[in-house]
């Protein structure tokens, strides 16, 4: 036997051993009896590729492709990175602290494209007229459909002043748009507050990263000191931050009980996060504003306050992002990013469901309602307004409608309308 043939067989043997180890580490279920049959089929396919493919296959590439194929069947947050890809990811993470000011994900119903969940006000994406709901197809003329969420997110970070070219698809328009933006440092202030009529303290949280928790505490105490006897918490388009930050903010309004828990694939609880009485700040009546761009840590707040009947939720159904990932480094230098748990509200609702229909947190009062949405199509704007200006005016109108509705609910206006019925 030639050295070349022996080398080929060695590569296949190493590949198969690596595959078995991966299966074992990712899920013990693969070692059930039925899994052995699937593994036998996989090994047969590899053998056919080696023996009968029209060219001598590069088994390293075959291995990388097989690994990616495994993760394509999982959730959007799970992925496999080769050694080179993981090294590039780590390099970008240390290249600078500037970002594009937007949150992207893969949608369960369209896993081949990246979806813009939210856009930070006055951030790089906002200034370039990127919108929530846009589909991201390429970065710097490089298609990203075969990249992981982790890789694409890292492509949107870097040194301040770095230019990035994006190709996006907007559902209500034909063709693709090339949009250029300049990465900028994230905002240092994520929380603002003010007093509204009726002694309502308005508290706006744009992000739950950085110093947002401490900023929330300071602003909330300031509102209480200023005489607020009701709190309106605005989490619209808040889509960044760790679950721990969401739990801390929820704790400001809850003095006991479960805030959220994580569970494995069998529904077993892995971690239960409860309110700490010493972190509780107020029991003032409150309402909570949410929309389709409310995601992640903000959904933990919304779910906890809703399930404990602590606040009425007004606006739109939230996006539905709620899972934890573990980075597993392999000896080869490659890495697995594997979702290991999903976050669940105190009442047992899984925030990140398998379908978009079941994901997210439902509002108690939908706003705008169906009639108002129909009227938005005829909203009075100047005929010579540019498309982006029309879009901004409509968004401002939607925000105003939602704010008015929240104040009606919070102040107990009699014609506030009936809350949504619970989904069947």
| pLDDT (tens place) for every residue of the chain, 424 residues total | 555 554 555 555 555 555 554 554 444 444 445 555 666 776 777 777 777 776 776 766 766 666 666 676 677 778 888 888 888 888 877 777 889 999 998 866 556 689 999 999 899 999 999 999 899 999 999 888 888 888 888 899 888 999 999 999 987 666 788 999 999 998 889 999 999 999 999 999 999 998 999 999 999 999 999 999 999 999 999 999 999 999 999 999 999 999 999 988 788 888 999 999 999 999 999 999 999 999 999 999 999 999 999 999 999 999 999 888 888 898 888 888 888 889 999 999 999 877 777 889 999 999 998 888 777 765 555 555 577 778 888 888 999 999 999 999 998 854 444 554 443 2
Do 54 and 92 lie in one domain? The reply is: no
Question: What angle (nearest 5°) sits at the alpha carbon of residue 227, between those of residues 221 and 229?
Answer: 90
On whether the CB atoms of residues 284 and 230 are closer than 8 A, the answer is yes
On whether residue 79 sits in a domain, the answer given is: no
CA distance 267 to 27: 15
Are 280 and 322 in a shared domain? yes
**Does 221 reside within a domain?**
yes
For 90, residues 6+ apart whose C-beta sits below 8 A from its C-beta are none
Residues 6+ apart with CB under 8 A from 408: 415, 416
Same-domain status, 27 and 118: no
Q: Are residues 252 and 359 in the same domain?
A: yes
Contacts of 59 (CB under 8 A, 6+ apart): 8, 11, 12, 15, 50
Number of alpha helices (DSSP H) and beta strands (DSSP E) in the chain:
11, 19
Count of structural domains, the chain: 3
Based on the fold, state whether residues 335 and 269 are members of the same structural domain. yes
User: Could you tell me the two tokens for 346?
Assistant: 């105190």
**Shared-domain flag, residues 205 and 303:** yes
> 323 and 252, same structural domain?
yes
Structural domain includes residue 422: no
Between CA 28 and CA 201 the distance in angstroms is 51
**Spatial distance between the Cα atoms of 413 and 408, rounded to a whole number of angstroms:** 5
* Cα atoms in the Cβ-side hemisphere of radius 13 Å centred on 363: 28
Q: Is residue 201 part of a domain?
A: yes
Residue 416 lies in a domain: no
Q: What residue numbers bound the domain in which 10 lies?
A: 3-73
Cα(350)–Cα(346) distance, integer angstroms: 10
Distance of CA 200 to the CA centre of its chain: 30
Pair 390, 288 in one domain: yes
Q: Are residues 157 and 250 in the same domain?
A: no
Which residues make Cβ contacts (< 8 Å) with residue 122, sequence separation at least 6?
101, 187
233 plus 200 within the same structural domain: yes
130: number of Cβ within 10 Å? 24
One domain, residues 107 and 15: no
What pLDDT was estimated at residue 179?
A: 93
Query: What b/e string do you get for 207-235 counting C-beta neighbours within 10 Å, with b at 16 or more?
Result: bbbbebbebbbebbeebeeeebebbbbbb
420 within a domain of the structure (yes/no): no
pLDDT at 30: 45
Pair 121, 237 in one domain: no
Whole-angstrom distance, CA of residue 302 vs CA of residue 310: 10
Backbone angles phi, psi at 209, to 5 degrees: -105, 175
Give the CATH number, domain containing residue 387.
3.90.226.10
The residue assigned the tokens 């036997």 is 1
Q: What is the pLDDT of residue 307?
A: 97
Predicted local confidence at residue 29, as pLDDT: 47
Task: Answer for the pair 236, 207: CB distance below 8 angstroms, yes or no.
Answer: no
């Amino acid at each position: 036997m030639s050295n070349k043939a022996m080398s080929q067989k060695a590569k296949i043997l190493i590949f198969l051993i690596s595959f078995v180890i991966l299966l074992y580490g990712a899920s013990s279920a693969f070692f059930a009896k039925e899994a052995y049959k699937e593994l036998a089929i996989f090994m047969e396919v590899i053998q056919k590729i080696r023996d009968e493919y029209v060219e001598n296959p590069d088994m390293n590439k075959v291995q990388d492709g097989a690994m990616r194929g495994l993760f394509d069947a999982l959730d959007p947050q799970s992925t496999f990175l080769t050694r080179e890809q993981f090294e590039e990811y780590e390099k970008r993470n240390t290249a600078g602290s500037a970002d594009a000011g937007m949150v992207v994900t893969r949608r369960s119903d369209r896993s081949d494209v990246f979806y813009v969940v939210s856009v930070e006000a006055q951030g790089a994406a906002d200034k370039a007229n990127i919108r929530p709901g846009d589909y991201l197809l390429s970065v710097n003329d490089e298609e990203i459909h075969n990249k992981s969420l982790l890789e694409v997110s890292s492509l949107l970070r870097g040194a301040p002043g770095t230019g990035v070219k994006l190709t996006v698809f907007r559902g209500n328009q034909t063709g693709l748009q090339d949009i250029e933006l300049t990465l900028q440092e994230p905002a240092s202030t994520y929380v603002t507050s003010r007093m509204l009529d009726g002694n309502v303290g308005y508290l706006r949280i744009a992000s739950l990263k950085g110093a947002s928790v401490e900023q929330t505490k300071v602003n909330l105490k300031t509102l209480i000191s200023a005489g607020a006897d009701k709190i309106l918490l605005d989490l619209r388009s808040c889509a960044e931050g760790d679950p721990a930050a969401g739990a801390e903010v929820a704790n400001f309004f809850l003095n006991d009980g479960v805030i959220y828990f994580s569970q494995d694939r069998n529904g077993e609880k892995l971690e239960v996060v409860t309110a700490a009485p010493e972190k509780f700040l107020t029991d003032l009546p409150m309402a909570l504003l949410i929309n389709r761009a409310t995601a992640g840590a903000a959904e933990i707040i919304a779910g906890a306050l809703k399930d404990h009947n602590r606040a009425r939720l007004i606006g739109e159904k939230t996006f539905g992002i709620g899972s934890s990932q573990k980075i597993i480094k392999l000896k080869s230098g490659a890495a697995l990013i594997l979702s290991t748990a999903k976050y669940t509200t105190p009442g047992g609702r899984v925030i990140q469901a398998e379908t978009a229909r079941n994901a997210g947190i439902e509002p108690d009062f939908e706003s705008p309602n169906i009639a108002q949405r129909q009227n938005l199509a005829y909203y009075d704007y100047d005929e010579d307004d540019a498309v982006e200006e029309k879009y901004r005016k409509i968004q401002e109108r939607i925000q105003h409608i939602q704010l008015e509705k929240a104040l009606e609910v919070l102040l107990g206006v009699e014609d506030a309308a009936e809350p949504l019925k619970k989904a069947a």
